Amino acid sequence: MTDSRVPFGPKAVILAVFVALAAMFATSFIYRMNNPNLFVQSQATRSFADAGGGEGGSAMGGAMSRVKEYMDRVRQNPDDLEALVGLGNSFLMMRAWDRALDPLEKARRLKPDDVEVLKAIGIAYFNKEEYAKAEAAYEAILKVDPEDTLALFNLGIIYKHSFKKPDVARAYFEKVLSLEKGDAEMIKLARQELDK
């Protein structure tokens, strides 16, 4: 009787493990790009996906090439607002909060009332658990646009969960519900926060 099993040596096992790890990393990265938490939902996520970093197996390569491109542009012109914002947003998508803040804070100095820059800064500080700085960024947005429902919602989250001030948070969530008409997900999340 002959042995019908296929020999499966140690090299094949190691290769299979590396392939599985690479697949897990790629799947996780793509999932994060397509399903960011609420605090990352801003123009940053859309511009990243539009730039080719949101789908497919080349997501990491696309992201890294964009980072290099933005870094080169900032080296050539430190006041290139578009490159600073792009670089900061790219680091946000990689969840590199500290690295994102340097170009984003430079962009804010160049254009202090840019709502998208302020949202990105708020995202970074929130994820670094520097809630007072995140709050300041979202309050700055409301000075520019008092009806920005993302800023209102994020302030509600900060006050409810970080500052432990549910009454203040409730006012923000209620304002989101009174203003928001088009974003069903935002409305649903605000209602959930009020019901908890």
- Expressed as residue numbers, the domain containing 180 is 146-196
Give the number of domains in the chain. Answer: 2
Q: Are residues 54 and 150 in the same domain?
A: no
Instruction: Single out the residue of 97, 95, 141, 99 nearest to residue 117, CA to CA.
Output: 141
Instruction: Report yes or no on 8 lying in a domain.
Output: no
CB–CB of 193/176 below 8 Å? no
The reply to whether the predicted model has a pTM over 0.75 is: no
Taking only the tens of pLDDT, the chain with its 196 residues reads 555 555 555 555 565 565 665 566 555 555 554 444 444 444 443 333 333 344 444 566 677 888 999 999 999 999 999 999 999 999 999 999 999 999 999 999 999 999 999 999 999 999 999 999 999 999 999 999 999 999 999 999 999 999 999 999 999 999 999 999 999 999 999 999 999 8
- Asked whether the CA dihedral 47, 52, 58, 62 is positive or negative, the reply is negative
The pLDDT of residue 143: 97
CA terminus-to-terminus distance, the chain: 68
Q: Are residues 24 and 80 in the same domain?
A: yes
